[in-house]
Chain A
Amino acid sequence: MSERVFRVWRGSGDGGGLAEYRVEVNEGEVVLDVLHRLQATQTPDLAVRWNCKAGKCGSCSVEINGHPRLSCMTRMSVFEPDEVVTVTPMRTFPVVRDLVCDVSYNYQKAREIPSFAPDPAKKPGDFRMQQVDVERMQEFRKCIECFLCNNVCHVIRDHEENKEHFSGPRYLMRVAELEMHPEDTADRRLIAQDEFGMGYCNITKCCSEVCPEGIRITDNALIPLKERVADRKYDPLVWLGSKIGRRPKDTPPVPNVGRYSNRT
């Protein structure tokens, strides 16, 4: 057992600041354990979002000494013995209270993506897919929706104005996943560009670096999606189609689901 100095951001959407605590830490603990100890012994109303405490649900995202991380998977042993541990809420989303953010941006973006669309002639049980073919999408489906990638992406991190036009790495990856699904029939390439802001991404890979699931978001989802979008643009047949006012395969945006800007 030892004692640590923790600085925890306390406050609400109207403002707040760091509060300092001295708190006991035991062998093997993670940052979330220490936050729970603060709740149990010093400040019962400290707001922290968490669920599984095993890195599986993606609820406990915060910034620890400036790094976006899951608090339940950050071992206390990664800090220097006398290092002060500073915990702040994710910066890209509005604060509700203390370490809890309003992450509704993400749910709105999810709703804008046209859903999986199998061939209507097929029925449940008809799919035959090889392991190698599903593995590519399975990597993306490891996503626990911690939203740390969206939190860190510079396109929206300090640019509220971009939120309306950019779905963030999490949801661009979702588009890529659907586009790779062997049984999907929609074509979201055009709207990936026009609606979801694929073009804003300049492949800095910051999203991939913070992903707690180790998903190679940029290399395996975003870059291939960019390539597909480019193919779609330069496909002479599609080009001709669009000239004569016909886009045979492009899936249109989902109607009436609203946009981020008019929900906030």
Chain B
Amino acid sequence: MPPTTQPEITRHEYDVVVIGAGGAGLRAAIAAREQGKRTAVISKSLFGKAHTVMAEGGAAAALGNANADDEWRVHFRDTIRGGKFLNDPRMAELHAREAPERILELEYWGALFDRTADGRISQRNFGGHEYPRLAHVGDRTGLEMIRTLQQRVVALQQADAAELGDPEARIRVFAETAITRLITEGGDGDAPGRIVGAFGYRRVDGGFVVFEAPAVVLATGGIGKAFRTTSNSWEYTGDGHALALRAGAGLINMEFVQFHPTGMVWPPSVKGILVTESVRGDGGVLRNADGERFMFNYVPDVFRSQYAETEEEADGWYDDPANHRRPPELLPRDEVARAINTEVKEGRGSPHGGVFLDVSSRLPAEEIRRRLPSMHHQFKELADVDITAEPMEVGPTCHYVMGGVRVDADTAASDVPGLFAAGEVAGGMHGSNRLGGNSLSDLLVFGRRAGMGAAAYLDGLGGRPDAGAVVDRAASEAAAEALRFLKQGDGENPYTLHAELQETMNDLVGIIRRGPEMERALERLDELAERSLMLSAPGDRVYNPGWHLALALPNMVLVSRAVTAAALERTESRGGHTRDDHPGMSPEWRRVSLEVRSDASDRVTLTRRPVADIPAELLGLFEHDELAKYLTKEELPETVAADEAAEEGQS
């Protein structure tokens, strides 16, 4: 197929189009289909291989199987603490309340979680969670989740085959298909138009597809590929974030990017690959080059009362958590990542610029192989390290974006009519820092809500709007735009531009940020934005990775602008946003979420939005002293009332 022929565009009509086949997307699609909607699920990779498959540690849900004292309020409190009180409280509440149901539902669909002695789902410890709370399968929980949801989709297809004669009558998966544009209709300067469709290309043959649909659920995951050192795969180019911006939706909290404290650091080719937090949850400790368990020196004031001060106390916690405080290795991720960064910077790092993570001296070899099989395998195969006999070398890696599409908590609706978002692409749930394990449960809770939200939106529309002409026009425009990179013979190599972008973000908007550096980053991003329009991809349209990268680069640049602009604006440090020049946490900033929007030429603007108040009865879960560290004076509840409610909540 010569690259320059006028493209043919395959047309489909659906009620709901779900972009993304990870945990959030599949759960949304299942919900929409169960509401009787004809649903398409679109994925850049093959069915069953979305990024969720990589999740290791587990899914957080207050099932109370490992410790009967656990309940949703405690999970809520941990989530808010982890997010440093910037979370959307309604999302955090729904998440904590509904996660157990969603996990049990997975089991009912065939998932096989590890068991407790009495035959229930076993739960493990993770950073920031007060009780063992993560439902898990060894260290391959994401695989179990994806496979179960995938098999649930197949079960629904089988049911439709029996009932309607066609397995794809109501739910169809479009694998290896990438959406490059959302199509809207109407709208003006102030109000965005409503969704009428989506346009994209098939990776396998380069053919174009357009979906005419009144509702779209974004479930595209994260943005990590904008950074050099990352645990994320090629899929994480921020497509959903960029699609939402261009359709007129707002993104919030984009300055908050989670650097996971433990990525591999050696050999270079695996730098960034994740080392699961379960290693620490199951007893692994961090040491610097002097052999010191340095995390004891980094317990911040706000967490002082909950974490152990001596090694003896910390070690006692694993077997007797009621009478010991937690080991500081299990502080929320932002704290641990910064601590490692400091140790390395001050010259106490390991030979390859990380620190040591040791489980070999903490658990018998057999137990390590049983509890952490894929870590054992990963280090043996990729780094020639036997984790049952020697420590690993680890350092921070870009892992997760807390920011995303601003949505209504209950329905996952964005402020573009017909556009919904769930999973990592949505913002608000995790505040300034996500707790480990809270993403997998988030995907299920809000994936389902997004599918139901989209279905309810359709019901509210009454009839199906006729937008055929708008969709067709937008599609041929988008097709011409996509083909441009194949025609620009003398443009730049997309791989080179990508490397420069990653360098810029890693070095100038990375784990520790400074105002002047971010200003430099914004200038560079302007330049990269220009250049990203001039890329050229040799070859034709069939499975052409250079072309695919060229199409994704403008998205990465746009999302990088959003991250950088918001990070420059927020003059404080909180969670996944650390400013060297503004190291303190400010109660005034706690009340503010930054919302990013973009214009027709991908330039971004910021507005400040108030963070919703935590309802009084939930605020009562926190001690007054703790609240005083986060909130402004006017926000603080009466001391007495707060303490009473806290006691109630704990009982």
Contact = CB atoms under 8 A, between A and B. Distances in A.
Interface of A: 12, 26-30, 33, 39-41, 44-59, 73, 75, 96-98, 100, 102-103, 107, 110-111, 114-116, 118, 122-125, 127-131, 134, 137-138, 141-145, 181, 254-258
A44 B545 contact: yes
A124 B105 contact: yes
B101 interface: yes
B110 A181 contact: yes
Given A27-B268, A56-B143, A73-B382, A45 B495 contact: no
B383 interface: yes
Interface stretch (B44-52, B84-92, B579-587, B633-641): B44-52
B372 to A, nearest CB: 14
A103 B48 CA distance: 13
Nearest to A40: B495
B542 A124 contact: no
12 contacts: A27-B267, A28-B266, A33-B269, A45-B540, A51-B234, A55-B377, A110-B151, A116-B151, A123-B108, A131-B114, A142-B140, A181-B112
A53 B165 CA distance: 39
Nearest to B110: A116
Contacts of A124: 101, 104-105, 107-108
B544 interface: yes
A44 B546 contact: yes
Contacts of A256: 161-162, 165-167
A46 B545 contact: yes
A254 B119 CA distance: 32
B53 A52 contact: yes
Contacts of B545: 39, 44-48
Most buried by A among B205, B538, B544: B544
Given A39-B495, A45-B537, A26 B147 contact: no
Contacts of A59: 45-46, 49
Given A52-B233, A124-B108, A125-B104, A44 B155 contact: no
Contacts of A53: 233, 270, 273
A30 B382 contact: yes
Interface string B486-508: 00000001111000000000000
Contact of B157 (A12, A46, A55, A111): A111
Most buried by A among B115, B274, B496: B115
Contacts of A257: 157-158, 161, 167
A70 to B, nearest CB: 10
A115 B155 contact: yes
B270 to A, nearest CB: 7
B204 A115 contact: no
B108 A54 contact: no
A130 B115 contact: yes
A45 B233 contact: no
B208 interface: no
A6 B258 CA distance: 38
B24 to A, nearest CB: 17
Contacts of B45: 51, 57, 59
A111 B643 CA distance: 56
A114 B46 contact: no
A35 to B, nearest CB: 10
Contacts of A75: 381-382
B268 A26 contact: yes
A128 B539 contact: no
B154 A110 contact: yes
Interface string B472-496: 0000000000000000000001111
A11 to B, nearest CB: 11
A56 B234 contact: no
Interface in B54-99: 54
A97 B543 contact: yes
Interface in B192-225: 204-205
B546 A137 contact: no
B420 interface: no
For the complex of A and B, the 8 pairs showing the least CB-CB separation, nearest first, are A28-B267, A45-B539, A44-B546, A128-B119, A115-B155, A116-B110, A47-B543, A124-B108
B140 A134 contact: no
Interface in B130-180: 137-138, 140, 142-144, 147, 151, 154-155, 157-158, 161-162, 165-167
Contacts of A116: 109-110, 151, 155
B520 interface: no
A57 B142 CA distance: 10
B269 A29 contact: yes
A39 B167 CA distance: 38
A107 B47 contact: yes
Nearest to B116: A131
Nearest to B100: A125
Contacts of A52: 49, 51, 53-54, 233
Interface in B264-285: 266-270, 273-274
B603 interface: no
A100 B138 CA distance: 31
Nearest to B161: A256
A41 B538 CA distance: 12
Contacts of A39: 495, 545-546
Given A45-B544, A110-B154, 11 more contacts: A45-B537, A45-B546, A50-B234, A51-B53, A107-B47, A115-B151, A125-B107, A134-B115, A254-B158, A255-B161, A257-B158
